[in-house]
Chains A and B, each alone.
Chain A
Amino acid sequence: MSAGQAKKRKGKRGLSRAGGNGITQRKRAETGLRRARDQAKEALEQQTATAEILKVISNSPTDVDPVLRSILSNASRLCQASVGAVFLFDGEVLTNVAHQNASAEFADFLKRSRPRPSRETTTRRCALERRTMHTADLLNDPEYTPLDFQRRENARTVLSVPMIHDDRLVGVITLWRREVKPFTDRQIVLVQTFADQAVIAIENVRLFKETKEALERQTATAEILHVISSSPTDVGPVFEAIVKSGIRLFEGAGVTVTRPENGQVRLMAIAERDPERARRWKERFPFPLTREYMHGVAILDCRMVDMPDVEKMDERFAAGKRNFAESGYRAMTVVPMVKDGAAIGTIAVVRDAAGPLSDKQIALLQTFADQAVIAIENVRLFNETREALEQQKASAAVLGAISSSIADTAPVFDKILESCNRLFAGRIVGLNLVGEDGMLHIGAYHGAHREEFERIFPIPVTSESGSGLSIVERRVVHYPDTERGEGVPAKTRQGCKTIGIKSAIFAPMLWEGRGMGAIFVGRDHVSSFSEKEIALLRTFADQAAIAIENVRLFNEIQEKSRQLEVASRHKSEFLANMSHELRTPLNAIIGFTRIVMRRSREKLEPQQYENLEKILASGQHLLALINSILDLAKVEAGRVEVNPGEIALAPVLEHCARTVEPLVKADAVTLVKDFDLALPQMVVDEEKLRQIVINLLSNAAKFTARGSIRLQAHASNGSVAIAVADTGIGIAPDKLEVIFEEFAQADASSTRVYGGTGLGLTIARRLARLMGGEITAESVPGSGSKFTLTLPLRYASPGA
């Protein structure tokens, strides 16, 4: 019931009681008026109190105490309570946070006792039942057994109102009276209103704190993220940012970042407000990576280790405890930085006060750990990428040198040694080669002490030297300490000492299992070469081998092509000579036969005359054969040049047809010129075009006994198709390609029947191809063949 409603009701009652006679009536009326005035005043006071509390709430968003004090003083005053108290409930116990008019003794009791909800007192009962409890007289409360001082307090009437938020008990407001005088309904309602306001205030402060904390955490993580993104090459700044944010967010604490390294835990960053303590804490590091330390467990077992109180520290952490005791801290939490299921470091918070971290703080620590992992990964990736890029650049430079110096290994070796020098931080780099004498010689060398070094060579390819051993055993040989390391060959140990080298690596240059030499890098300090460096050196060795092999192949090819050139010249000379030598007797054979035939025709028997004709025909065939072989040789030797010129196609075809006409069996075969006289102009080697067309036509004439030979031509899409179709004996499908080969006719016996050198089509097709064209054949055995020559309408030289 609200204060307004109460006032209204009272007012009505007052009016109904007005009436009666004279003074009594007036007195009644006066009493009624006073009461009404009192009620109005009370309502006003209540409203004023509520407003005042609201004002306090809005003025103290970060602190709940002023609100509770204000509530309590207003409640006590307006409800005429002797004593008042506010308790907050944390889920387990009630804690007194404010009291009003309590005696010193009572106040002390309130402060010390942290009771759980129960039935023992009105306050505890209220907390238990989570509803308003009103005890009219404590002396009549059968469940209440007062303590001595409580008796002295003489509390009689008690009102406890719960503060509830989302069905959850937040606290209790309790008012006591030292007389038996129950609180009115309106007073109860008022206290309930105050309880609601208290809840709002508490909730406000909680929300405010949560928001503020979240903001702080977000700010911290954002700062760290910013540092991560702005230092991709160095984890140091990120670790610094993490520990600095850490001490801001964890009170009374020091924050550290550590990483495991060579079996030890190393301190990477520390933040501690007290520099002296920071110094002492730093001195604890590094310590062994064992499970005797909390860091060790966090890293080795990859889990969080929380130690809320060093005094209760497990004896397992004997070593850690000693560290801890000397540092003066009370509690520590170590969170591992986890990458792929393994810890690559820790973030730890050490604290002055005992007690565990809250879930939120742990979550925050974990966020920091994740960020540290990201930073470490970033830097690793960055370095790897940069390293890989540098290696790729180096090896690309070497490949570039290889491809641009196929005749000489020197530029390649130089590039390799230059890259080695840069990427390996080598004081000396060199390349030894196995010479023709089977000994190792210096191929290339960069570095000091060249003269001393040269004096050592040549050396045999044996396991007595690093280079030799790497070649003999076909593996990279690596000496991190040439002076004191084990298994260093005496020669290498001595050589390294002479030129001031403390660590060395040798990679063999192998080609098809054969050792060609070795690349080596030497440093003036003791150091191990990393897996990546070894792999890179191996790559360089391979590249050097490729370079050597390239040069060898190049020289071999040059020698071969020189030999080929000589052979080709010999072949051409031979053909020219052969042709000359064969033509000379043929000159006599053909010449004398002609003379005899001309001068003795009448004297000779017809049979003898025919014999002479056969001698002449054979001579002429032999001549044709010689000419063809010469032609083919010329085409093959690339000695035939295309001499293009602009011609009209139709007249050329006409001329070819006329040339072949005498060969056609005129009585049984018709030669048909089946082409348009308006054929386009073309750019072609006219002599070769004629040679091809005449060859195709004379073949047709040779193999066609009756029917027709059609010479066709048409131009389209920039090319010309010239076809010779006959009704001759035809060609079997499996012979259509064979006929273009040297000395092949479709039927091996046909040469004897039809004559011909067996070279015509071969030459024709080569000439066609030489001019960017082609000859194809199609045929139906028994019904005829069709040969089609296609040529570009305008010849373009291959170079153009």
Chain B
Amino acid sequence: MEMLYHQFKRRVFGMAHRIVGPNDAEEVAQEVFVRVFRGLAAFRGDSALSTWIYRLTVNASLSHLARRGRRQEISDDNLPEVPATPEPERDPGLAARIEACLQQLPAGYRAILVLHDVEGLSHEECAAILECRVGTCKSQLHKARARMRDLLGPMGVAK
């Protein structure tokens, strides 16, 4: 059981963090893992285990957002202090701006960007997780990126 936790902890926590924000990520991730372990016996294996776990994560995150209500603005003070694994970045400033703008996107757009672009899942996997058609996923991704570009625009994306 611990090994299952360690296998998925970064993905679950990362997804939750980027959808609900740093303050609530741990609470949501905890809820997800409790559901995973309690539901494991009943898991019918009609999808991949990972798909099921990610679906639980996205649903828990989106429900949490809905209950909490959308945060209005993120000031510079609220830029997330993430316990990130240090990795060389081309533009460290860009990562912080991207994380901040993610929090300003509508929840659905946040989810597809996190799943497809951040976590690198395929359109098929995203569709399975979000329980929608692949075509819907693709157009959601397109709109999500466009909205992100608008948010980032004034700050400048490319150098």
Q: A and B bound?
A: no
